[in-house]
Structure 1
Amino acid sequence: MPPDTSDLDATLARNWAVRVKINGVWTWIKGINSFDAPISDSLQEAGDYHSGGWGAQISTEKAWVATIGVGRKLDPTKAPDPGVEYLRGLGLNAGADGMAEIQWWRTDGLPDAYQGRGTVNFTSAGGDKTGLQGGTITITGYGKLNDIEKPTAVAVNEVQRLDIVSAPTSFKLKVLAAETAALTVSSLDAATLQTAIVGLAPIGSGNATVVGSNAAGYVVTFAGALAGVDVPTLQVTTLVGGSSPEVTVTVVTQGHPAG
């Protein structure tokens, strides 16, 4: 006899959370009233004369599409939802300018959690005189759909690491359009590096701490106004001097808000 399933609780189709990355910050998509994200296969017939008369389909490629139905709602100041508006704007563009990175996960006990980048199409829905204004956002995958850990109920701060692999005389750091002055390696220490980083407009005073040394590497932890934010990765620019100079920045922990 099959097992009794009367003690199992059904899960609801609406238990999804969806976010889009805007300038490095994960932003909620609000007003969702439907969501579907199927994965499809490109199948090829691999059977032969000796397959016993049966077909033998094998997947040679995967593809994904996320379809998000939204209600076009306004906040108390009559402003539209930033997540929806960002995607609507991308839907007017082609190429890389029309792509977004999104993530979605179940908010119940189911383990599903994914992240990917894709091309955005936005269709505004019409209706009759009793209808509500809505829209359909379709994001067609560009590359792999990645499994991710579900964002936790507690915000996680971004941590990045800077390593001087082969020392230049000096280098600069850049975040978005902001760039530091030249950092002289011979006099560089954690305090100097921290001052330079928090002096960048997208970072700001009190929003990053730095520990470490030239030999051991530097660990940059973002906090304050950047607590729980997926901070854009520091970029190394303008390496001057040295023999084959190399300075790297890696993300140790990706920041995210409470999920």
Structure 2
Amino acid sequence: MSTPIEETELAREWRLEINMGTDEAPDWQLCPGVRAFQPASEPNIEDSSDYDSDGWAGNTKTAQSWEVTTTIRRKANKTVKVYSPVHEAIRLAHFAYGDANLVHLRYMQRNGLPEAYEGKAIPTWAPAGGEYTALGEVEITFTGDGALTPIDNPLAGS
């Protein structure tokens, strides 16, 4: 029996999708132009030590937060003067309040491995600017609002 070859994962194996539909009828669309992608989910841990632990510290997870930081290259159709609809949905959510401020997103390993997540987040939209030779990029931080849920990777069968 041969040993399977293990390969090192690459950062570019993440795929970000935005729900351009509704919760009842989702329309998942690729967020194009991703240049950097960094997910994070940090637990809040409180000291739960007491006298009964013989001097050993105790800790309890009491909450958890998550965010996704990404850099995208802006995509535009200059003939009809429109940006990518996904980019525009994120940008406009940045300026909105209430439910209109939330972006329903999911991200997954693009090669079908089991790691995949879904949640709603508040976007921060920050154009990068730069020298006259720079390409148009935007730094986006999606700050989670509620749970980040592990899901079955929709690309697993691909």
TM-score, normalised relative to structure 1: 0.53
Tell me the equivalent position of 1:114: 117
Residue 58 (str. 1) matches residue 56 (str. 2): no
> For 2:45 and 2:156, how far apart are their aligned partners in 1?
40
Tell me the equivalent position of 1:70: 72
Residue 11 (str. 1) matches residue 20 (str. 2): no
Structure 1 residues 12 and 119: alpha-carbon distance in aligned structure 2, compared to 1, 3 A threshold: same
Q: What is the aligned counterpart of 1:42 among 40, 44, 54?
A: 44
> For 1:144 and 1:95, how far apart are their aligned partners in 2?
17
Amino acid in structure 2 at the alignment position of 1:96: D
Structure of higher RCO (CA pairs closer than 8 Å, 6+ residues apart): 2
Residue 93 (str. 1) matches residue 91 (str. 2): no
Tell me the equivalent position of 2:135: 132
Give the alignment's Cα RMSD to 1 decimal.
2.3
* Gaps in structure 2 of 5+ consecutive residues: none
> For 2:54 and 2:34, how far apart are their aligned partners in 1?
49
Q: What is the aligned counterpart of 1:81 among 81, 84, 89?
A: 84
Give deviations 1:55-98, integer Å, cap 9, x for gaps.
22221111111112101122474532111111011101122221
* Gaps in structure 1 of 5+ consecutive residues: 155-258
Question: How many equivalent residue pairs?
Answer: 151
> For 1:125 and 1:54, how far apart are their aligned partners in 2?
47
